[in-house]
Structure 1
Amino acid sequence: MTQPRPVVGTPDEYDLDDPNRVPWVLGTHLHPEVGPLGRAPSGSRVCMIEAHGFARRKPYHHHKLTLVFAAMRHFRDELRDAGYEVEYVRAETFREGLATYFDRYPEDTLVAMRSPSHRSGDRFRDLVETVGGDLELVGNELFCSTPEAFDEWADGGGEGDQFRHEDFYRWMRRESGVLMADGEPVGGEWNLDEANREVPPDDWEAPPVYEPAVDDLTREVAEWVAEEFDTWGSTEGFAWPVTRDEALAALDHFVAERLPEFGPYQDAMRADDPAMAHALLSPAVNLGLVHPWEAVTAIEDTYEERSDVPLNSAEGAVRQFLGWREFVRHVYRHAMPDLAEASQLGADRPLPDLFWSGETDMACVGASVADVYERGYSHHIQRLMVLSNVATLWGVDPAELNEWFHTTYVDAYHWVTTPNVVEMGSYGSGVFATKPYVASANYVDDMSDYCGDCAYDPDRTTGKGACPLNALYWDFLARNEDRLRSNHRMGPLYGHVDDKRDDCEMDEIYQRVSELRTMERRGDL
């Protein structure tokens, strides 16, 4: 297995030879070979704090809390079995946990990787200082690139600058050498996304999903979470890796069974299959159980070794780990704190209750919410082109939509959701999105089977039974005309808006949208 550290940029240099310099392993840093833990001598003392207070602030998905707490407790036990002295403190808050730790070990200096979330390092410093302890923060090595490398590439770009994912992705490919040959991309093209928008035939069967067994410890955690916290989502059917061995098995399963089918159908949606051929690795990667570079190299090695893995599958999967995940992490650093509250289109409506209840006659939305309710997961096109699309067309406050994603998805953390939801999903800032990603029913009908049994007609815009997406789409364009008409990617659409105004069709659209908002308030949309 390749060394799990950043490959673009230089990781921090430090050591933990002094026994009073102790790794503090956070709940999203669960990799034994990375950061302070990877530098600590075998048998060292390790600090872990299981804080519960955060889990009471929001109705988090039951599976999300089960995943975090079960993974931490398994990691604790594995470290102890390996000979480490793990001081595992369970407390209501990090402050209480730190006070307990430093009461026991007042001479220690905790050494922790920085969390990607905004100002988390400052908060931890303040907490440690408050309880009279010492803390050293070091670079987070659970990414493929360092902040310093990105900032040098971006030439010091900061708030207000617009970043381009495609440029960044190509730079990461060049610097890392992934899917490269003689300085050029394998196959001659950098991005094969256009080959990844096929719809599977009716008789296509998705490859099997890896589901680890639920052991006694995980079952115990799941029961405790259900009793201890006010959660959302199903309490049954938990099926996510909670150990490194399970996460590596999930990665092996993806490249062996699912990768060949991933590329062509990665944007397609099926009502009865939330997984399709997706990797399902983001929860494990975002906890640190698998390093993204381990995923990238496994994908590249499999492509090179097997003739049945098409380049568009390998490149598409690499782009998610080496490109997009890295990109949003760095954009988040540069755009916060403003990004979290950004709403350049002035969207300020509350999130419809149907996002929580799933009670709607819109098949695409109902099925997607049901997927999230059942497993805390739906794939990226459901997130962007169904759930975020509906919310953006509706005019939902991006911050409230971001809160929903952060609460309900097992792989969601603030640094992940904020760029994806506020910017990509809601066009909240313009820090990297060049247009709002909105669509009418035509897109959903083309890329899914939702519309076939839906109560709404995807081919109609107004009148009873017309798909809400259609009227909402034209209403969105009309109400945001001042902002979007000059956008070179959106401008051509306004010719259609003009035609609808000339034909007085916009008046019917406004009436339909008013009806839809009334239906939503009554709970029968």
Structure 2
Amino acid sequence: MTVWVLGDQLSHTHGPLARREDERVLLIEARAFARRHAYHPHKLTMLFSAMRHFRDELRERGREVAYYEAETFGEGLDAYFDEHPDDELVAMEPASHGAADSLRGLVEARGGTLDVVENDLYLCSNDRFDEWAGDPPYRQEHFYRMMRRETGYLMVDGEPLGGEWNYDDENQQFPGSDYEAPDPPRFEPDGTTEAVAEWVAETFDGSYDTDPLGGAWADPEPFFWPVTREQALEALDHFCEHRLVEFGPYQDAMVGEEWAMNHALLGAAINLGLLHPGEVVETVVEAAHEDPDVPLNSLEGFVRQVLGWREFLRQVYRVSMPDLAEANQLDASEDLPKAFWTGETEMNCLSTVVDGVRKRGYSHHIERLMVLSNFALIYGVEPQQLNEWFHAAYVDAYHWVTTPNVVEMGSFGMGVFATKPYASSANYVDRMSDHCADCRYYKTKTTGEGACPFNTLYWEFLGRNEERLRSTGRMGLVYSHWDKKEDEEREAIRERAAELREMAARGAL
């Protein structure tokens, strides 16, 4: 039997690879997938470099590795079964919906067999979630508390450490525009990574059918992400030593000159399998135990992101597909504005975040939710277009990651767990960032020349979706403010919104 390791399962310590120490290992670089979307070159470089480093590490440990660089999985399997006819393969379940059946069909068509076993690169098993979940809507807070009890993380005698389950109200501070965060870790590419980066640049032009630019959209700075387990562990230690203390209070803050703030920057490494979420949580908990300067709100806030949010979204994706991917309960139909590809907009918040994504394939979670997704939501972008952009743009993005985050949380696409749309005017961006100070748009204006698009589109969004949203449990107070607006003001809002959409369509927002 041979262990087939997929590109996002690069773990030496979990799965059949760890349990079958004497068996051959199969890895296939399938290049066709890299042309499905306009992937950021850092994402492709990280993936393929991590796979090649993993191959070399296995061989250094004495493992037999069959490694194929092919256009498709099918072509890679053709080459493999030519050398190893009728072989039996075993692999962990892929995270993407339908992938297990597709891979099994490819193997069986070539005379082999594929045993798909549960993916243990997560902390919540499928059976445990199904036992807990019941019918949707699912509640993330309830799931988080269940997982705390199950794992014992941040629990004392059956009660949450500190007496509260979460400290989110302490994690919404803005440090000021002159705040200087610790420098994020950067890893110098070795020969393997340099070769992959050059190959990616030559092979994948970063464009696809719906890209309005018709060519490369990213503007990448030199590659710096971790591509080996050793580097990923170093990044984890760096977070614990330099960034954990202030992670909590400033985790929602957006400072224009501090793209990383105090975020861990570990999502991409965890999603590739270089780090296991359990070891990440345990390392951070131990670091906080040893450092009295780490406040509980920083520790709990981080644990909630990994144990509560990441695990929850993975399971919601599993049980809600394929409907979730196509969900669009607000019937949003606008095309994604060109500014998401170019960063060319006079909206300072939007241009700053998009420029960071174009450079690094990254922005932190509040920039994703309250700038990018918020703008797309109130603008009326079709959720599937927004999801495709996120999937292509981020180094840590996979279909199972973006679909619940973007279609459900960001676009209020289905109501499978989101209880309200995450729509906001300029007030939130102004409170949590320094973007508004240098913007040509006026954060206090809703209509007329220079009115902030967030203000105009927010109220136009509420008016446009009144029938669907007014009765939503958490929207009553918001609509009480809408009710106070005179017909003349509502018409001015609609006119300004139409003007903004026309500007966005021609790239002049």
1:137 corresponds to which residue?
Answer: 116
Identity of aligned residues (%): 60
Matching residue's letter, 1:39: R
- TM-score, normalised to structure 1's length? 0.94
**Structure 2 CA distance, aligned partners of 1:204 and 1:402?**
32
1:178 corresponds to which residue?
Answer: 153
**Structure 2 CA distance, aligned partners of 1:521 and 1:349?**
10
2:250 corresponds to which residue?
Answer: 265
1:306 corresponds to which residue?
Answer: 291
Aligned length: 499
Q: Does the residue aligned with 1:197 lie in a helix, a strand or coil?
A: coil
Shift of 1:315: 0.3
User: Which residue among 330, 334, 338 is the counterpart of 2:319?
Assistant: 334
Kindly indicate whether the alpha-carbon contact (under 8 Å) linking 1:147 and 1:330 is maintained by their aligned counterparts in 2. yes
Matching residue's letter, 1:36: P
Q: Does the residue aligned with 1:87 lie in a helix, a strand or coil?
A: strand
User: Which residue among 142, 164, 189 is the counterpart of 2:139?
Assistant: 164
User: Which residue among 64, 75, 90 is the counterpart of 1:85?
Assistant: 64
Kindly indicate whether the alpha-carbon contact (under 8 Å) linking 1:271 and 1:449 is maintained by their aligned counterparts in 2. yes
Kindly indicate whether the alpha-carbon contact (under 8 Å) linking 1:458 and 1:470 is maintained by their aligned counterparts in 2. yes
**Structure 2 CA distance, aligned partners of 1:224 and 1:114?**
29
Shift of 1:497: 1.2
1:219 corresponds to which residue?
Answer: 194
Kindly indicate whether the alpha-carbon contact (under 8 Å) linking 2:86 and 2:111 is maintained by their aligned counterparts in 1. no
Q: Does the residue aligned with 2:233 lie in a helix, a strand or coil?
A: helix
1:28 matched to 2:13? The reply is no
**Structure 1 CA distance, aligned partners of 2:504 and 2:323?**
31
Matching residue's letter, 2:21: P
2:75 corresponds to which residue?
Answer: 96
2:349 corresponds to which residue?
Answer: 364
Shift of 1:202: 4.0
1:39 matched to 2:19? The reply is yes
1:412 corresponds to which residue?
Answer: 397
Shift of 1:107: 3.8
**Structure 2 CA distance, aligned partners of 1:130 and 1:348?**
40
2:305 corresponds to which residue?
Answer: 320
Shift of 1:234: 2.7
**Structure 1 CA distance, aligned partners of 2:492 and 2:154?**
52
State how 1:499-514 maps to structure 2 within 5 Å: 499-501=484-486, 504-514=488-498
Q: Does the residue aligned with 1:269 lie in a helix, a strand or coil?
A: coil
Kindly indicate whether the alpha-carbon contact (under 8 Å) linking 2:59 and 2:65 is maintained by their aligned counterparts in 1. yes
Closer/same/farther in 2, CA of residues 352 and 203 from structure 1, 3 Å limit = closer
Shift of 1:256: 1.1
1:519 matched to 2:499? The reply is no
1:113 corresponds to which residue?
Answer: 92
Kindly indicate whether the alpha-carbon contact (under 8 Å) linking 1:363 and 1:454 is maintained by their aligned counterparts in 2. yes
Closer/same/farther in 2, CA of residues 102 and 300 from structure 1, 3 Å limit = same
**Structure 1 CA distance, aligned partners of 2:364 and 2:220?**
20
User: Which residue among 439, 442, 447 is the counterpart of 1:462?
Assistant: 447
1:7 corresponds to which residue?
Answer: none
**Structure 1 CA distance, aligned partners of 2:291 and 2:339?**
45
Kindly indicate whether the alpha-carbon contact (under 8 Å) linking 2:180 and 2:258 is maintained by their aligned counterparts in 1. no
Matching residue's letter, 1:63: H
**Structure 1 CA distance, aligned partners of 2:412 and 2:201?**
36
Q: Which runs of 5+ in 1 are unaligned?
A: 1-20
Structure 1 residues 98-133: Cα deviation after superposition (integer angstroms, max 9, x where no partner)? 111111111421110001110100100111111121
2:332 corresponds to which residue?
Answer: 347
**Structure 2 CA distance, aligned partners of 1:145 and 1:397?**
31
State how 1:34-73 maps to structure 2 within 5 Å: 34-42=14-22, 44-73=23-52
Shift of 1:465: 0.9
Structure 1 residues 73-111: Cα deviation after superposition (integer angstroms, max 9, x where no partner)? 010011111111110011100011111111111142111
After superposing on structure 2, the runs of 4+ consecutive aligned residues of structure 1 that deviate more than 2 Å are 201-204
Deviates more, 1:314-323 or 1:235-244: 235-244
Structure 1 residues 436-468: Cα deviation after superposition (integer angstroms, max 9, x where no partner)? 001000110000000010010101111111111
Shift of 1:484: 0.7
1:425 matched to 2:405? The reply is no
1:396 corresponds to which residue?
Answer: 381
**Structure 1 CA distance, aligned partners of 2:221 and 2:478?**
45
Structure 1 residues 501-522: Cα deviation after superposition (integer angstroms, max 9, x where no partner)? 35x2111111111111121123
1:479 matched to 2:464? The reply is yes
Kindly indicate whether the alpha-carbon contact (under 8 Å) linking 1:226 and 1:235 is maintained by their aligned counterparts in 2. no
**Structure 1 CA distance, aligned partners of 2:332 and 2:176?**
38
2:209 corresponds to which residue?
Answer: none
**Structure 1 CA distance, aligned partners of 2:300 and 2:318?**
26
2:179 corresponds to which residue?
Answer: 204
Q: Does the residue aligned with 1:49 lie in a helix, a strand or coil?
A: strand
**Structure 2 CA distance, aligned partners of 1:518 and 1:321?**
40
Q: Does the residue aligned with 1:492 lie in a helix, a strand or coil?
A: helix
2:168 corresponds to which residue?
Answer: 193
1:11 corresponds to which residue?
Answer: none
Structure 1 residues 306-342: Cα deviation after superposition (integer angstroms, max 9, x where no partner)? 1010000000000011110000001001110000010
**Structure 1 CA distance, aligned partners of 2:41 and 2:462?**
37
Shift of 1:153: 1.3
Shift of 1:203: 4.0
**Structure 1 CA distance, aligned partners of 2:447 and 2:407?**
29
Shift of 1:201: 3.1
Q: Does the residue aligned with 1:136 lie in a helix, a strand or coil?
A: strand
**Structure 2 CA distance, aligned partners of 1:497 and 1:426?**
21
**Structure 2 CA distance, aligned partners of 1:488 and 1:329?**
26
Kindly indicate whether the alpha-carbon contact (under 8 Å) linking 2:353 and 2:367 is maintained by their aligned counterparts in 1. yes
State the Cα RMSD in Å: 1.0
- TM-score, normalised to structure 2's length? 0.97
1:127 corresponds to which residue?
Answer: 106
**Structure 1 CA distance, aligned partners of 2:492 and 2:441?**
17
State how 1:378-397 maps to structure 2 within 5 Å: 378-397=363-382
**Structure 2 CA distance, aligned partners of 1:488 and 1:52?**
46
Deviates more, 1:509-518 or 1:364-373: 509-518
Q: Which runs of 5+ in 2 are unaligned?
A: 207-216
State how 1:271-282 maps to structure 2 within 5 Å: 271-282=256-267
**Structure 2 CA distance, aligned partners of 1:135 and 1:104?**
17
2:426 corresponds to which residue?
Answer: 441
Q: Does the residue aligned with 1:500 lie in a helix, a strand or coil?
A: coil
